[in-house]
Amino acid sequence: MFFFSASVVLPQTTYPYQNSQNSVEVRVQDLLGRLTLEEKLDLLGGTGFATKPVKRLGIPELKMTDGPLGVRWGPSTALPAGIALASSWDPKIVEKVGQAIAQEVKGKGRHVILAPCVNIARIPQGGRNFESFGEDPYLCSRMTVSYIQGVQQEKVVATVKHYAANNQEYQRDFVDVLVSERALNEIYFPAFKAAVTEAGVLAVMSAYNKVNGPYCSENPYLLDEKLKSEWDFQGLVMSDWGAVHSTIPTVQNRLDLEMPSGQYLNPSTLREALVNGTVQESHIDEKIKRILRVMFTIGFFDGYFPADSTVINSAAHRQVALEAARAGIVLLKNEGNILPIDQKKIKTIAVIGPNAAIARTGGGGSSQVTPIDPVSPLQGLKNRLGDQVQILYAPGIRLDGDESAIEPAYFYTDANMKQPGLQAEYYDNKDLQGEPKIKKIDPQIDFRWHGDAPEPGMPVDNFSVRWNGVIKAPQSGKYIFTSASDDGTRLYLNDQLLIDDWNDHAVEARTAAITLEKGTIYSLKFEYYEHGGDAVILLGWQLPGEDLEKQAVEIARKAERVIFFAGTSANYETEGRDRDDLILPNGQEVLIQKLSRV
């Protein structure tokens, strides 16, 4: 006798939106009809760096990450700055860069890269000029199209930004850019138009500023008349982080997604407007369609690619970065054919400059990538020349923000100086409120948590830390304290507020000078908060009495050739502020003149 048993499998209903054989528009319309009004309203605001999921219908988060010079979600491959890519005049290499970045986006388990940045370089001292493709609308357009094509061939969403006329960091949150219609269409729009009409970009990010009156996130000329009507853009328009200032004008003028959260676009702010007819449900439906359309277009519901971390900083991606960097180099002059260096004749080289021993892979802010095993110019020369040429090194000058973290040997928990380190209090909110979630002793302040929680049990975003203790000065003289952080910091020494930077921003450095006496103990309080995205915090100092210039002149005298690596850093060219001037900072030109006379 044989007995057969089998589990009963009930037939599962497959809805049209779940069928990959259906067109994108059929699937969008079907899924839209299955969402409740409350769910639709809730989808209009993000959650930090993602859209909200709807578990009932299997709608996952659309996960985002900053760009455009690499994936800013933990360490990854650092690609050349946009201005360097434009200097290559090579759309093919730019497409390769976009493709490499997109592959690493997927490797991080994300789906959207907030790039490219295509704003025209209108003012020379603009803090984010390095991110974009320069001042020429045509060149910028060609680079833009290639970058987006490279990204989206990998089924990753490209987000062209910042729309529009976002050409300065100074007062960027509220400045009203008054510009003629002709200038907009001939200078500031071409790259965005090409992104839409040629590259088929899936997302556009509205800028912080106003243009001719209205904010960009509620600007009818930008969003309705040009982008969605004349250019027939079918993707989604998201705000820059915190760039929404209203509910009704924003909804009516066709922004689709408020980031990083739905402060203005949410069920509670929109219900009454829907009831009284100020806002029609069709307005909401159009926005949700665009969000869903992007998801279906990249195959989000059809077994999207699993994260493959092996692509991060792969040999192939490092090669792309190298090729792009080489293509963007411009040799201005080679008087006397001093390049390339003849290793048979030259046996001693002095390598000098603030950018010699540090791999400057990009500017500061939301584009700043944490590179993996970066190679500085100094190390590259050593690797290339080996023992054939003697290399002497001196920085000559130190740029603001380059200080290392203060060493643990100078910190104590209190004036008794029995316990090294600082008392740390970790709060699960960004306001240092209530009881600390965690209390511990940190030996120093040098943390790069990136997208992770600072401690087990702590949130990934929206937390704060307060460090208390004392610091002992090893010598007398003027010290320069530096806080480098993403987001805000406050530094107190003997209850005197030295650094007050209690603001949201990507990684930026702040400095303060103070005279200290050798052996004296000073009370120290350092506060930090994080409000989304990366989490980085460092407290450093520059000791008094360093004569870096003298050291540089001395080694220059001993060398047959001097290679000087001049420039700025991520603390000078950065999101959030423009440069004060175009002078090489901290006296580099003077030092170069002195070295040329040796």
DSSP 52-121: PPBGGGTB---BEEE-SSS-BSSS-PPPPPHHHHHHHT-HHHHHHHHHHHHHHHHHTT--EEE--B----
Q: What share of the chain is helix, strand, coil (3-state, %, to 5)?
A: 30, 20, 50
Do both 280 and 191 map to the same domain?
yes
Do residues 436 and 427 lie in contact, with contact meaning Cβ atoms separated by under 8 Å?
yes
The token pair at 255 is 């922004």
Residue 259 lies in a domain: yes
Q: What is the dihedral of CA 98, 99, 102, 104, to 10 degrees?
A: -110
Backbone φ and ψ of 318, nearest 5°: -65, -35
Q: Residue 2 has what pLDDT?
A: 34
Residue 460 lies in a domain: yes
CB contact set of 503 (below 8 Å; sequence gap of 6+): 487, 488
Do both 537 and 551 map to the same domain?
no
Do both 158 and 86 map to the same domain?
yes
Question: Tell me, what CATH number does 133's domain have?
Answer: 3.20.20.300
Q: Pairing relation of β-strands 489-493 and 521-530? A: antiparallel
Do both 206 and 70 map to the same domain?
yes
Residue 467 lies in a domain: yes
342 is catalytic: no
Do both 355 and 286 map to the same domain?
no
Residue 2 lies in a domain: no
3-class SS at 337?
helix
3-class SS at 384?
helix
Do both 394 and 419 map to the same domain?
no
CB contact set of 71 (below 8 Å; sequence gap of 6+): 65, 77, 101, 104, 105, 107, 108, 110, 113, 312, 369
Do both 526 and 557 map to the same domain?
no
Of 279, 301, 323, which closes a domain?
A: 301
Q: Residue 29 has what pLDDT?
A: 98
Question: Tell me, what CATH number does 482's domain have?
Answer: 2.60.120.260
Do residues 191 and 167 lie in contact, with contact meaning Cβ atoms separated by under 8 Å?
no
Global pTM value: 0.86
Do both 454 and 570 map to the same domain?
no
What residues make up the domain containing 415? 408-542
Residue 307 lies in a domain: no
240, 400, 402, 534: the catalytic one is 240
The token pair at 22 is 């259906």
The count of domains in the chain is: 3
Q: Residue 3 has what pLDDT?
A: 35
Q: Residue 403 has what pLDDT?
A: 79
Q: Residue 577 has what pLDDT?
A: 85
* β-strand partners of 496: 493
CB-side exposure of 294: number of CA atoms within 13 Å? Answer: 31
Residue 311 lies in a domain: no
Please, what are the averages of pLDDT over each run of 10 residues along the chain (598 residues)? 34 82 98 98 96 96 96 96 98 98 97 98 96 98 98 98 97 96 98 98 98 98 98 98 97 97 97 96 98 96 88 98 97 93 94 97 91 96 94 93 90 96 97 97 92 90 96 96 93 97 85 95 97 87 88 97 96 89 95 95
Q: Rounded to the nearest 5 degrees, what angle is found at the Cα of 368, between the Cα atoms of 364 and 372?
A: 135
Q: Residue 451 has what pLDDT?
A: 72
Do both 108 and 201 map to the same domain?
yes
Do both 535 and 565 map to the same domain?
no
Residues 44-74 as b/e (b if ≥16 CB within 10 A, e otherwise) read: bbbbbbbbbebeeeebbbbbbbbbbbbbbbb
Residues 197-222 as b/e (b if ≥16 CB within 10 A, e otherwise) read: eebbbbbbbbbbbbbeebbbbbbebb
* β-strand partners of 516: 477
3-class SS at 445?
coil
Of 301, 319, 343, which closes a domain?
A: 301
Residue 265 lies in a domain: yes
Question: Tell me, what CATH number does 355's domain have?
Answer: 3.40.50.1700
Do both 524 and 560 map to the same domain?
no
Residue 313 lies in a domain: no
Do both 457 and 337 map to the same domain?
no
